[in-house]
Chain A
Amino acid sequence: MAYDGKDKVLEEVTGKSYEFGFTTDIESDKAPPGLNEGIIRLISSKKEEPQWMLDWRLEAFAVWQKMEEPDWPHLQYKKPDYQAICYYAAPKQKKQLGSMDDVDPEMRKTMEKLGISLEEQKRLSGVAVDFVMDSVSVATSFKKKLGELGIIFCSMSEAVKEHPKLIRKYLGSVVPTKDNFFSALNAAVFTDGSFCYIPKGVRCPMELSTYFRINESGTGQFERTLVVADESSYVSYLEGCTAPQRDENQLHAAVVELVALDEAEIKYSTVQNWYPGDAEGKGGVFNFVTKRGICHRRSKISWTQVETGSAVTWKYPSCILKGDHSVGEFYSVAVTNNAQQADTGTKMIHLGKNTHSTIISKGISAGKSHNSYRGLVQIMPSADNARNFSQCDSLLMTDTSGAHTFPYIEVKNPTAKVEHEATTSKIGEDQIFYCLQRGIDEEQAISLIVNGYAKEVLNQLPMEFAVEAQKLLSISLEGSVG
């Protein structure tokens, strides 16, 4: 190869250890490992849930027991032992918090290390953070301000108690419990998550944000997020993840449901940086997430994701375009390094007339990782004049990594216009040569090219998040890229 320097640089990349690998020492209240009806009853009673919620969980559990773990993704991993996982762990501290000062100083330190100090967030960025640590919501800020507008933004357990009507109407309406293996598991054992409701005609004045963090060793994280945007409302929702270093694999099986009623708009952005495992692929998080939104008439759902972490990712944020003139968007950057594996993409299901969808997916594979795009564009007979544009590009950084594309296109309406393009290539040596000629060193040159390559997606992120996303992109490929 013409650039020996690059190999060296790539070695540095693989040598880079996980920066956020620290553990918070907080006593936690933990259920014994294993999964049975008893555990589900325990979770439900710990959370002081009403009977209907328990029934719903038990039904999901019954369905899950009959299901098989899918093996169609282009992934290779040792299937987790679901009986060895602890399904409930909550920080013991239980008293109500009046102000930030009441928060456990250990936990606050953790947040500061993550760069999401609540005070700072409050003052500078105007972001309301619903901070989830090991499944229980500890601090919810800006709640009052949102309350004035009628916006509900709270933890799922609180919502179950205080807004049962909304929860019973929408929970499981987009991702039914029997949708897939992981969604059924999640429905049975989810411990917390976020709920957000934007009333009619309200434009949420700030970006809503949730941080997830797997903390307790050997625990799984099963969040449930539900965002309902009532008619003509708007919300931008951010989700970010970092996890501390652990040797055994940790399971993350979340479900996210979005409901955009007539003329509403939801923008959902994710930066995912769970612990990816070490250079040999030991440890790391299994990220098996079901994300789906339903669009009613003239509404819009936009998914943006920057995926840099997790040992194994299985994730397809999707849109069901049910209403006429609804719009679905999916923007994704997925970076895999070392032994990471990602099988990610989207589904756009067109049911309504004049529905539009756009898919932009950028994959970057380094080390000996494998990065797959798997997508479905389905135009049903009722979807007259549906339109889809898909673009999937892959960038290969090493000759040991892989990039794969599995797009499914199913069209049952003759008025549909569907376009799909995909390319796979490596960074052009002529591009690097051009930069070198102009005094830009190789490391910067690669960084420049990768940033330009991912720009289309990064531009979709809200300002506050774009900075963090770029930071994560750099960490993931540091030494050579970013």
Chain B
Amino acid sequence: MTSAIKSEPFILNIGPQHPSTHGVFRVKVTVDGERILDAEMVMGYLHRSMEKLAEERTYTQNIPFTDRTDYLSSMSNNLGYCLAVEKLAGIDVPDRGQAIRVIMAELQRLASHCMAVGAFANDTGAWQTPVMWAFREREKILDLFEMTAGARLTCNYMRIGGVAFDLPKDFVPMARDLMKTFPAFIDDIDGMLTENEIFLVRTRGVAVISPELAVNGSLAGPMLRGSGIAWDIRKADPYCGYEKYDFDIPIGYQGDSFDRFIVRLEEMRQSVRIVQQALDALPGGPHSTQVPLALRPPAGEAYARVEGPRGELGYYVVSDEGPSPYRFHIRPPSFINLSVLKEMTVGGSVADAIVALGSVDIVVGEIDR
């Protein structure tokens, strides 16, 4: 007997205005009943053409642009850009500047992963409690940023040759206190979600990425490590003295959404370790080298990368000896991580597509630039 109900594929728009897309981002899915047959991404709603704007501004004036690409991790973006220009111009950074950079980058990773984990829990249906707890902890980190750089989200704190200001005198004790209480929050989230049956059913085996696809699809960061590839630029190609700190790289072994969540959670614990070590061993001396404001690096090109919260964050800068970059290219990790979204969602249900998108941890400012 054939089914009395006839079904035919139809197109459903998830977004551009949808809470699970974390910004203005649209996924056009073709569904047959609840099953996804095809997924097409539509992006560019937030395109500001920063790469073009940067060609008309000096090297120092470009630092605030990098805040506004990935607005959840402005410190990491500042750092990546400054490293690229320093590599191009051959500028050394004093030890204290490097240690401050490491502290800020790791605090930024904590703040960003708070958002990632909280919003991911929201997407899976753990409505509001985890995200509010995560926001509460993130506020404390943003307070530290505010007292150091004067801004909470778009910090604009790193400079070519170091950082903009030295740490205020209350920073070190306050950061130490925060790092004492922070692991308790990670344990809270862990206890609330990791063995929660509903959370496990929503995430286990959903949106699986095989290691082969992860490598071939140019993934980076927690997406790559969730699939079992132990690759972290902080270990593989240390910058800013990361080789001096003792930390581990967590990896998943199934490549599903749950593994990516667990990898992020464990990375937060490792970041706390790094911040504690960096605070303990904070060297004295200057926080920055003197660099001319109208910097004219020698003609050439440089590609520098950092391990941002979302993965390999690269900056490719070409100089023609002018006061502004000839070409300024950002390697945006969450844009490239989306290249496997179709493989993650096709064959699953619409509800699983929301979980898949949440596990990528996109920031639309970075995708569209």
Q: Do chains A and B interact in one complex?
A: no
Q: Which residues of A contact B (CB under 8 A)?
A: none
